[in-house]
Amino acid sequence: MSVANSSPPLEILVREPEGFVIWNGPPFSSNQPSIKLDRVPCTSAKFSEDGSKLMVIKSESSISIYDSKTSKEIRSFESPNILAASLSPCGTYLQTFQKLSSPQEKNVTLWKTETGESVYTTSQKNMTKATWPSIRFSSDETVASRMATNEIQFFDAGDFSKGMVHKIRIPGIAAAELSKQPGSHVAVFVPESKGTPSSVQIYACSQASQSEPISRRTFFRCSTVQQHWNHGSTGLLVVVQSDVDKTNQSYYGESKLYYLTLDGTHNGLVPLRKEGPVHDVQWSYSGKEFAVVYGFMPAMVTIFDKKCNPLMELGTGPYNTIRWNPKGKFICVAGYGNLPGDMAFWDYVEKKQLGATKAEWSVTSEWSPDGLYFMTATTAPRRQIDNGIKIFHYNGSLCFKKKFEKLYQIDWKADSPHKFGEIEELVKSITSLKVDNKTQGSKPVKPISTNPPVLKKPSAYQPPHAKVAAAKQAQLFGESPSPSTEMSKNALKNKKKREKQREKKAAEAGSGVDGA
């Protein structure tokens, strides 16, 4: 059985104003995707983290859950004034946030998708990125936690009827990030208060553990943080952002990158080689390396190991985004937003660049679950014109492009990378596909030269009269003029024009003498 046949099919969710459709993913026959699920009207749609379920918000009072494998609706939930909804990683639970009608109302509900019953309710005044979803799960749904006032609460993820089973008291907590694989630890952020510096603290989730943090780091001039756990839950990257840059070099404030490990081998700054902001950071799927885009433009890209030692430099350029493919072999470094959309594709295993291209005005970008394709999209409302998607091969060559009048969302259906074959075999399975970039209206991938261009030292300035004198002197002594004294194209054109005019006059004069 071939690799292509043994691997699960790729699928793409495409949402327009009229609703969403599900495409069968690449490779496309005749360069056109086929439809797996025809248009379904909705206001929002989202796959669960493992890709097994699809949540479709059809209105403020109706949510449907679909089985991703069959594309059939398996459950419908009716509840008034729904402002937001979220699926648990394995699709076991649906969580809804409703508009409050009274201060005492419990407006957050956790539903069991299999039975449709409500298993837990609580109250929440506001919905922010830090507080929604209210209940967070580890990727395997063995751990469930909730951030409350001055504490983290833990539940039995298999039986919410028990309510809160234990808690950790953390005065002033403002944000929490539960580790995903496994859900063994939680990182919390406590902002600065009354002269006490802000801090990030790591706690073990188990009830038997001590309530003291395993690791702790304090920060001065810290407004917000971004916390990134690795796979394996052994290390945490923290991007610390300050609203004000005291060096006055950045309008957007100042950012620094810290690295905290559970074993205590590192608890401090990541040694970045260039001054400036931290634009993006991402762990590899293995959790053994992480990549950082940082510094004033042109930004620098560096890959570090788990001990914070630099492993590889991916050069500098107009970059602010990094995407590491699920198989860990390929990396895309790009510059989106207010940058021109440059993309460089690298083979991390072979330590070489594969290609470079552009995807202007991109709003979102992500690798396919098998790690072979890279998709970018320009979507509304971020950008109201030039909406569309582009799908590239792992080396940056364009294999599909489509424009939309209005495109709201585009997502790969999530799937475990382990379900696909080895990346080398997958690459061989698509190398036979020939892509004619010209017929698809795309620019070909720029070839990467193994010999970097040699920069010539600029010659000293010479005024025009000195250049003319030098050229005459070289002509007198039979020398060829130096590169700095070579004529420009216009000058050479004018010279040839004058010579032709002289030849013409001489010919006319000669014919006049003959006829006399």
Q: What one-character-per-residue DSSP string does 121-134 give? A: EE--S---TTT-SS
Residue type, 454: V
Omega before 41 within 30 of 0, i.e. cis = no
Task: State how far the Cα of 245 lies from the Cα of 278, in Å rounded to an integer.
Answer: 13
What pLDDT does residue 147 have?
Answer: 93
Cα–Cα dist 137/94, whole Å? 12
Query: If residue 13 lies in a helix (H) or strand (E), which one and from where to where?
Result: strand 11-16
Name the residue among 143, 166, 146, 12 with its Cα closest to residue 90.
143
Do 409 and 11 touch, CB atoms closer than 8 A?
Answer: no
Name which of 312, 165, 287 is nearest 231 in CA terms: 287
pLDDT at 302: 96
| Whether 176 contacts 152, CB under 8 Å | yes
* Cα–Cα distance, 282 to 315 (Å, whole number): 17
Q: What is the pLDDT of residue 450?
A: 36
Q: What integer pLDDT is reported at residue 137 of this predicted model?
A: 95
Q: What tokens were used for 470?
A: 């030098």
Among 113, 256, 91, 235, residue whose Cα is nearest residue 177: 235
In total, the chain counts a number of residues equal to 516
Distance CA 496, CA 490 (A): 10
Cα(7)–Cα(379) distance, rounded to whole angstroms?
30
pLDDT at 468: 53
Q: State the amino acid at position 402 in one-letter form.
A: K
Side chain identity at residue 31, one-letter code: N
| Residue pLDDT tens, the chain, 516 long | 455 556 788 999 999 999 999 999 998 888 889 999 999 999 999 999 999 999 999 999 999 999 999 999 999 999 899 999 999 999 999 999 998 877 778 999 999 999 999 999 998 888 888 889 999 999 999 999 999 999 999 999 989 989 899 999 999 999 999 998 899 999 999 999 888 899 999 999 987 766 789 999 998 888 899 999 999 999 999 999 987 655 555 556 789 999 999 988 889 999 999 999 999 999 999 999 999 999 999 999 999 999 999 999 999 999 999 999 998 899 999 999 889 999 999 999 999 999 999 999 999 999 999 999 999 999 999 999 999 999 999 999 999 999 999 999 999 999 988 888 777 777 876 665 544 333 333 344 444 443 333 333 444 445 555 555 555 444 444 444 444 444 556 667 777 778 777 777 766 665 544 443
SS3 76: strand
d(CA 252, CA 338): 14
Q: Which residues contact 437 (CB under 8 A, 6 or more apart)?
A: 397, 398, 443, 444, 445
d(CA 142, CA 432): 43
How would you classify the pairing of strands 409-412 and 11-16?
antiparallel
- Distance in angstroms (rounded) separating the CA atoms of residues 266 and 260: 6
pLDDT at residue 440, rounded to an integer: 37
Q: In what order do the strands lie in the sheet with 11-16?
A: 35-40, 19-24, 11-16, 409-412
Measured in degrees and rounded to the nearest 5, phi and psi for residue 104 equal -90, -5
Yes or no: say if 283 and 231 are a contact pair by the CB < 8 Å rule.
yes
Contact between residue 304 and residue 322 where contact means Cβ atoms under 8 Å apart: no
Type of residue at 234: T
Strands (E), 320-474: 321-324, 330-334, 342-347, 352-358, 364-367, 373-378, 388-393, 398-403, 409-412
Q: Tokens standing for 464? A: 């025009």
| Tokens linked to 274 | 């260039």
